[in-house]
Amino acid sequence: MKTGLAMPLRVCLLRGPLLVLVPLFTSIFLLLTSAHALCAPQVAVSIVPQRYFVEQIAGGLVHVTVMVPPGANPATYEPRPSQMRELSMAQAYFAIGVPFERTWLKRFRAANPKMMVVDTVKDIRLYPISSNGRRAGMASQEIPDPHVWLAPALVLLQARNILNALVSLYPEHATVFRKRYRDFSSQLIELDLSLMETLETGQKRKGRLRAFMVFHPSWGYFARAYGLKQVPIEQEGKEPRPSQLFDLIKRVKKLGIKVILVQPQFSQKAARIISEATGARIVKADPLAYRWDENLLEVAKTLRESWE
């Protein structure tokens, strides 16, 4: 009986100091990690995919602050005071043209006048949102589609702009940045080829356009790059009216659409109504995901399966 009690007691006595040390080591590790982040040069971006792009080129040589956190809507989000404090230490802001920037970028410049603002989408031709990239220009009243990060070929142009800014800011790391840019460029080309193979670039499948439905028209550049047709539920930035829903249901049936892409930042009510009326499957696809490459491949695979 005594032996049976002694063993657990000895184990507990041995584990006691270890159980005390584990949280201590964890705290030290977190402090060191935080210290490294604070010591690294600070830059800021608007959305999560931009963080992915900057980190592919800069690695751990810069600390990236994301102003619109995961799950938030870039059209309506307002930065927290803690984010504004972080922004005050940023040496560069990588802009991408999302609606959030139209409201806040001037305020960011005023809060940190020394911060370099980098237009990562300069030299990229923008198309009207919802146009599916069919027209060559925009009328003055049309809103440009900011979702250029969903086409790898356009990300390649953004990556070059990011590289140039990083080299300008931190020339002592230019060799590292250029090597990582070269590696990232190769990855983008491989991703583009994989998407082409998955989606079999072409305009039609058995006489029909290869179409998919979305609530918010985020996938226009993606559709244009791979010969697809994006059909948005949202009508001029609003939920569709009953008559518009009826027309959308007819369109889904006519085009043979089997997938409706929805994202966490927007309502899914209209998508559910259309799904119930047509049998089209609702699939969650977040265009603001950090693992940007995996997200695009998963969307492509889902669409391909819906057409088979």
pLDDT at 11 over 70: no
Whether residue 291 is contained in a domain is answered as: yes
Question: Using CA atoms, how far apart are residues 189 and 26, in angstroms rounded to an integer?
Answer: 40
- What string of DSSP letters covers 118-163? EETTTTPPP-BTTSTT-SSS--TTSPBP--GGGSHHHHHHHHHHHH
Residue 97 inside a domain? The answer is yes
Mean pLDDT of the chain: 84
pLDDT category, 144, cuts 50, 70, 90? confident
Q: Are residues 235 and 108 in the same domain?
A: no
Kindly provide the b/e burial profile for residues 126-150, where b requires at least 16 CB atoms within 10 angstroms of the residue's own CB: bbbbbbbbeeeebeeeeeebbbbbb
Question: pLDDT tens digit string along 257-288?
Answer: 999 999 877 778 899 999 999 999 999 998 99
Residue 91 belongs to some domain of the structure: yes
Copy the structure tokens of residue 231: 């059909």
- HSE-CB at 181 with a 13 A cutoff on CA atoms is 19
pLDDT above 90 for 295: yes
Banded pLDDT at 4 (limits 50, 70, 90): very low
- Determine the average pLDDT of the residues in 13-38: 47
Residue 158 shares a structural domain with residue 182: yes
The whole domain housing 188 covers 39-123+144-193
Decide if 10 is inside a domain.
no
Which residues, 6+ apart, have CB-to-CB distance to 124 below 8 Å? 148, 154, 157, 158
Q: Does residue 97 sit in the same domain as residue 179?
A: yes
Handedness of CA 75, 152, 292, 164 (dihedral sign): negative
104 and 250 in a single domain? The answer is no
Element (H, E) at 212: strand 211-214
How many domains does the chain divide into? 2
Residues 209 and 164 in one domain: no
pLDDT of 132 reads 45
Distance between CA atoms of residues 138 and 128, nearest Å: 6
Say whether both 162 and 250 belong to one domain. Answer: no
Predicted pLDDT of residue 191 = 97
* 2 or 172, greater pLDDT: 172
User: Do residues 47 and 187 share a domain?
Assistant: yes
Helix 174-199 and helix 152-169, axial crossing angle in degrees, nearest 10:
170
Per-range mean pLDDT, top range of 6-15, 70-79, 194-203, 295-304: 295-304
Predicted confidence (pLDDT) at residue 303 exceeds the cutoff of 50? yes
pLDDT at 29 over 60: no
Q: Contacts from 120-124 at CB under 8 Å and sequence distance 24+?
A: 120/50, 120/53, 120/94, 120/95, 120/96, 120/158, 120/161, 120/162, 121/95, 121/96, 121/97, 121/146, 121/148, 121/154, 121/157, 121/158, 121/161, 122/161, 123/157, 123/161, 124/148, 124/154, 124/157, 124/158
pLDDT at position 12 is 40
Q: Categorize the per-residue pLDDT at 73 as very low, low, confident or very high, splitting at 50, 70 and 90.
A: confident
Checking if the pLDDT of 107 tops 80, the result is yes
CATH for 185: 3.40.50.1980
pLDDT at 10: 42
pLDDT of residue 123: 87
Give the β-pairing of 204-205 and 208-209.
Answer: antiparallel
Q: What is the pLDDT of residues 224-247, one digit of tens each?
A: 999 999 999 987 777 888 999 999
Residue 59: inside a domain? yes
pLDDT of the residue at 166: 98
* 80 and 175 share one domain: yes
Share of the chain above pLDDT 90, in %: 62
pLDDT at residue 74, as a whole number: 83
Poorest-pLDDT segment among 126-130, 175-179, 205-209: 205-209
Structural domain contains residue 11: no
| CA torsion, ordered 53, 57, 60, 66, to nearest 10 deg | -20
**Pair 54, 155 in one domain:** yes
What's residue 33's pLDDT? 44
Q: Are residues 106 and 249 in the same domain?
A: no
Q: Which of 31-40, 74-83, 89-98, 142-151 has the lowest mean pLDDT?
A: 31-40
Vertex 258 angle, CA 256 and 259, to 5°? 135
Query: Please, how many CA atoms are within 13 Å of residue 63, restricted to the half-sphere of its CB?
Result: 15
Per-residue 3-state assignment (H helix, E strand, C coil) for 67-129: CCCCCCCCCCCCCCHHHHHHHCCCCEEEECCCHHHHHHHHHHHHHCCCCEEEECCCCCCCCEC
Task: Find out whether 167 and 177 touch, Cβ atoms under 8 Å.
Answer: yes
Is residue 260 a contact partner of residue 271, using CB atoms and an 8 Å limit? yes
Whether residue 235 is contained in a domain is answered as: yes
- The larger pLDDT score, comparing residue 175 to residue 99, is at 175
Mean pLDDT for 163-180 is 98
Whole-prediction pTM = 0.81
Written as one string, the DSSP assignment of 226-238 is TT-EEEES-BTTB
Lowest mean pLDDT among 84-93, 95-104, 172-181, 193-202: 193-202
Q: If you average pLDDT over residues 77-90, what whole number do you get?
A: 91
